[in-house]
Amino acid sequence: MLASAPRDVLGRPLRDLRVSVTDRCNLRCRYCMPREVFGNDFPFLERDELLTFEEIERVVRALVGLGVRKVRLTGGEPLLRRDLPDLVARLCRIDDLEDLALTSNGVLLGRMAGELAAAGLRRVTVSLDALDDATFRAVSDTTIPVQTVLDGIVAARAAGLAPIKVNAVLQRGVNDDQVEDLAGWARDTGVTLRFIEFMDVGTTNQWKRDRVVPAVEVADRIAARWQIEPIDPDHPGEVAERYRYTDGAGEVGIIASVTRPFCGTCSRARLSAIGELYTCLFAAEGHDLRALVRGDADDTALRASVSAIWSRRDDRASELRAADGLQGPRVEMSYIGG
C-alpha cells in the first residue's frame, strides 16, 4: 500500500535505501576504515544493539510504502552478519520492492554466493580497487590475496548472481595505475566496472583533493584504449556516468561525486545497523528509528515519522564541497555503507 510518497525540499523522492547490517569488516581499506582508527580496541557495535532481521524487514516494508523500490545491503562488510541469507529471504518477500542488491568486498563471497542466490538475491556489487596483488593488499591493508576476491566473483557468477558490478575507488599515487588493467579485465570477464572518485566521506581517511582522479581523466584514459560512447541514465538518480564500448564488450561507469556531483537527483537514504536513518552520505548524524520500532509505534506512525524526516531534507553536500573539502563532523562510510 503506497502512502503519499514524500518529496524533500528539493523535490527529490525517496526511492533507494541502503541498509547497513554491521559496522564490522574483514578488510581495512585506507579510504574507508584506516586501521589506526578502526583497530582491535575500536568500540564496534554490540550484537544486541543491532536491528534484528525482523526489525529491518519492518523498516524496509514501511519505506517501500513511501516509495522505496530499491534496497542495497551493505556494512561494513555485510557477509560478516550471521545468517544474512535469512534477511535476504525476508526482504525478497516484500511486495513492490523491485530490486534487492548487496555490496561486498568479496572475501566471503566464494563461500556464500550459493546461499545468497538460493535465498533470492539476484545481483551483487563487489568492491575491488586493484588487480595487482601488492596494490590490493596495500589499499585494503590486508594479507588476504586478491585472488580470494576474484574467486568470489567467479562463484557469484556460477551461483547465477547477475549482473555483477565491480566498484573501484581510485586514488592518485595509490592505485590510479590500475585503470586500464581493471577496465581490460572487466571487459574480458563480463563484469560491469564502476570507477569511483575518492571522496571525503567521514573524517578519518585523510582526503585531499589532489588525490582525486577526476572522472574526465578516467574517461579519457579508457577512450585512449577502447572506443566508448556515453549511455543515457536508466532512471533519475542513477549515480554513474556510463559509457558503452562500441565493440560490444559491455560498459564502464564513473561515479564522479567530487568533480561532477549529482545531488540534484539524489533519492537515497541510508539506514545504519542500529536503525538511524541518514539522509546524506556526508551527514553528521541520523534519525533514530530503532526507538520507534522497539517502542509502540505502529507502521503508520513509522511511515509518518520517515515521511516527515524526508520532507525536511535539503542535503546536497557534494555540491557545497569547498576546494579543500567538506568541513565539520561526518558519519564514517563503514558505519552507513557508502
Using CB under 6 A as the criterion, which residues of the chain lie in contact with ligand SF4 when the complex forms? Answer: 262-263, 266, 268, 280-282, 315-318
Beta-ladder partners of 288 = 276
Q: What angle do CA 123, 126, 131 make, to 5 degrees?
A: 140
Strand ranges (E), 198-285: 228-231, 241-245, 251-255, 268-271, 276-278
> Least distance from C-beta 253 to ligand SF4, angstroms?
15
> Least distance from C-beta 200 to ligand SF4, angstroms?
10
Smaller CB separation from ligand SF4, 130 or 326? 326
> Least distance from C-beta 239 to ligand SF4, angstroms?
7
**Among all chains, which residue has been given the C-alpha cell 539522509?**
279
Strand order in the sheet with 228-231: 228-231, 241-245, 251-255, 192-197, 164-170, 123-127, 99-104, 70-74, 16-20, 268-271, 276-278, 287-288
Q: At 77, list the grid cell.
A: 562488510
> Least distance from C-beta 320 to ligand SF4, angstroms?
9
CA distance 249 to 242: 13
Q: Residue 320 is inside which H or E element, if any?
A: helix 317-320
Smaller CB separation from ligand SF4, 15 or 187? 15
Smaller CB separation from ligand SF4, 28 or 287? 287
Q: Are residues 71 and 60 in contact, defined by beta-carbon separation less than 8 angstroms?
A: yes
Q: What is the dihedral angle through the alpha carbons of 34, 40, 44, 47, rounded to the nearest 10 degrees?
A: 140
Smaller CB separation from ligand SF4, 88 or 215? 215
Neighbours of 274 (CB within 10 A): 17
> Least distance from C-beta 287 to ligand SF4, angstroms?
15
Backbone φ and ψ for 276, nearest 5 degrees, come out as -95, 135
Smaller CB separation from ligand SF4, 101 or 317? 317
Smaller CB separation from ligand SF4, 9 or 92? 9
> Least distance from C-beta 281 to ligand SF4, angstroms?
4
> Least distance from C-beta 309 to ligand SF4, angstroms?
14
Smaller CB separation from ligand SF4, 114 or 325? 325
Burial class (CB in 10 A: 0-12, 13-18, 19+), 175: buried
